[in-house]
Structure 1
Amino acid sequence: MKAIVIVLIFLFCSTTPAKIEKESSPTHKVPEEPRSRFAMLDDVRILANGLLQLGHGLKDFVHKTKTQINDIFSKLSIFDKSYYELSAQTNEIKAEEEQLKMTTTKLQATNEQLKNMSLDMNAKINYVLHDKSRLQIKIDGLEEQLTQITQSQAKETEKTEVSALKELIGNQDKNIKELIKTVAEQHEQLDQQKNQIKDLEEKMNHGGFQDNNENMYVPKQMEAKVIRYLSRNATGVHLDCSDIYDEGERVSGIYTINPNGSKSFNVFCDMKTDGGWTVIQQRINGTLDFDQSWGSYEKGFGDLEAEFWLGLENIYAIIQHGDYILHTEVEDWKGMKRFIEYAFSMGNQESGYNVSLTPVLLEGVPNIITQQSGIPFNTKDHSTDRKRNASCTENYSGGWWYYECGEASLNGKYVKPKAEGKAERRKGIHWKPGKGRYYTLKATKMMIRPAEFEHLS
């Protein structure tokens, strides 16, 4: 562009001086010098060259301008596109704004409903609290009435028990009178036997002993029967459940016994398992906690028709007059029942109620003791043999005759088989030689009966 301007200025300067000089001096005529044709041709060439350069410059200018215009159009297209997108986004924002306004309106309406519901709930809660106070007053009144009814029933029960005791005493007196009569008859028989013995002695001196030998046998057999009867029922009461079974009772349940002159107490008699068993322990479903103190294990605890421990004092009162069999029955969580029987004897309180056990019958239950005597009973708060059983009472649950820690514990904690942790299952009811002390049992029953028991068919 600058080159074109320079050429134009050059052409203008080369042509205008002659004209100016001609016009400025009209009076003086200067003779024109003839110009050469070649000089004019040079001017034409210079002009043509300048025009050519001007054309090239214009072409470049047009090309650059076209490029700039295309860039401008491209930018305008991008601008139009951005403007369209902004317009679309603006429309979307407006739509979302309208939706937000509608949602806000709905939320305000919902908030009002919640406020109303909250007010209704508060009113209902106040009403319920009022009813609760009224019901509590009624419950207090009913509890007072129930207490009065219970007291009155207790008095009636005491009257019933007194009448039953009177009846029992009357029956005992009747039995004692019959026994006295029987004893008198036995004295008469003994007198007759003495006379017969004298006669026999005299006949022996005369060689008549052989003829009267049979007459002497029958009174001895009768005397043996009378002695056995007096040893079991001389007081007119029941020593244990085998006595009750001998009298013809066949219904399992709670009965009253009075063994060896001790105070009367109730026991549960099992008349089904071969009959005449006195139950001393029973576990069914874990409703009773057997982790009790020494005093509780001495006196007994629980419900005779559910889970219970009869009591060491009561067990000793029953078995001290003879040899007994201990029948131990266990049931696993699959419903499989097994039992084992031991020849069983137990010492008094001073000996720690130690037991002596000799296995006599095994029915699917492994034996934990081959033959052992003098095993004391221990609880967590009382250990007769601290040297041997201290760790047993600390690591296991419930009172038991611990021969070896973990061998068996039928008074342990009621633990289901899916309980987590060996320490927890170790405290459970178990019989180790079976499936180990970590395999807990579902149910147990311990029963005693005289070793020479002859039940009626």
Structure 2
Amino acid sequence: MKPENLSNFSQKPRGSVEDSTTENNSLSSDSDIEDISCASGDQRRIVQGLRKTIRKNNTKINDLVAKLTIAEIHLANEKEKSNYKDDLITLTKETKDLSVKQLQSKILELENELALSKCPALIKEKEKINEYENNLSEKDKQIEKLEYELTESKAKIVKLESTIHEKDEELVEWIRKTQKCDAELESKIKSYEANISEMNKKLSKFNIGAESCQNSDKSFIFLNGTKIPSIRMVSFPDLEPFPAVFEEIASAGSWMVIQRRIDGSVSFNPKQNSYKDGFGDLGTEFWLGLEKLHKLTMSRRYELYVELVDFDDARAFARYDHFVVGRSEENYKLISLGDYSGNAGDALRSHINCAFADDWWWRSSEYECFLNGTYNGFKVKVDWDGVWWGRWNMRNGYSLKSCKMLIRPRDEKSIEVNLGPKHPET
């Protein structure tokens, strides 16, 4: 049913309602006129109220008629939609039947193709295809394996690059330390060269002084009977090269002088001098140095020779065959003397295991000699401060005119040294 027919249908009832309403209005109006003409004032008011009520009811009736008309139109539209749905369902059923037929036809074609594929040629081609697929699968596996190995190789490369980077940093640090060590060694070498140059200058000055002394009227006589000592440069591990005086002792060979007292020209006061490093004048009085004595006597076995002269020009000596001085941490204590021989007395024996305190190996309760004390230019009895050896004369110590201490290796007749310019003896 079309909408326009529904519209016509809906319009007919609406017209009948309006006509009846109009007729009722006209009838009521005529009756109202007749009633009004014959009614009193109260009745007029009642009539007017009734008129208002009638008008309100007529308005409501008209609204209801309009709503009814709209509802009829919606109902007609819904019926038309229902007819469309029925047509669509019919069409869907027809399309479904057609699709089923087409699928059945397609299945039949596929079955025919399957039957044809069973021929030998097609089977052989299919086998080739399967073989190709298998080969392709193997290749895929090989590719996966190679990719895995490639990943591992990349990881190893990253690790090696990290190791190389660390080694490079270590190499840079090693080069930096090497350069620092080279700089320090170069500085030490320059310092050693400066010290050697200074020593050579001192030796040169000593040569000049010795030559001038030799040409003077009053030549200086040393205790060993020569006018000029034999001075040589000594090189030793862990020690800077240093000059030392060497003297020949009759029937005893060549010895290095480590201490000499002859005239009091050099102060042996420990507050003014370093007994560790050495001090004094090699031409007169000096002390070689405790650190040198320690390094020398700890490197091999050394002998000690002590030569003494009193103010009556009497000479005596004390000789020890194993002289050892301890480390600085031990305060350079007198570790060993070995066996004694000589005619001056074994006075140094009581000082074994004594630390070097200020200026000598002191024992608090007992001591028998002291060669680094205050020098006296004449014979005098001393209590402890002075240059003396032994208490054999009525248990008294008397000052000495001169003394010197010398050492040499025990197993050889002479000391091996790097010789500098040797001063000729006269």
For the aligned pair, the TM-score class normalised by the smaller chain equals 0.3 to 0.5
Normalised by the size of structure 2, how large is the TM-score?
0.41
Higher relative contact order (CA 8 A, sep 6+): 2
Normalised by the size of structure 1, how large is the TM-score?
0.38
Which is higher, the Rg of structure 1 or of structure 2? 2
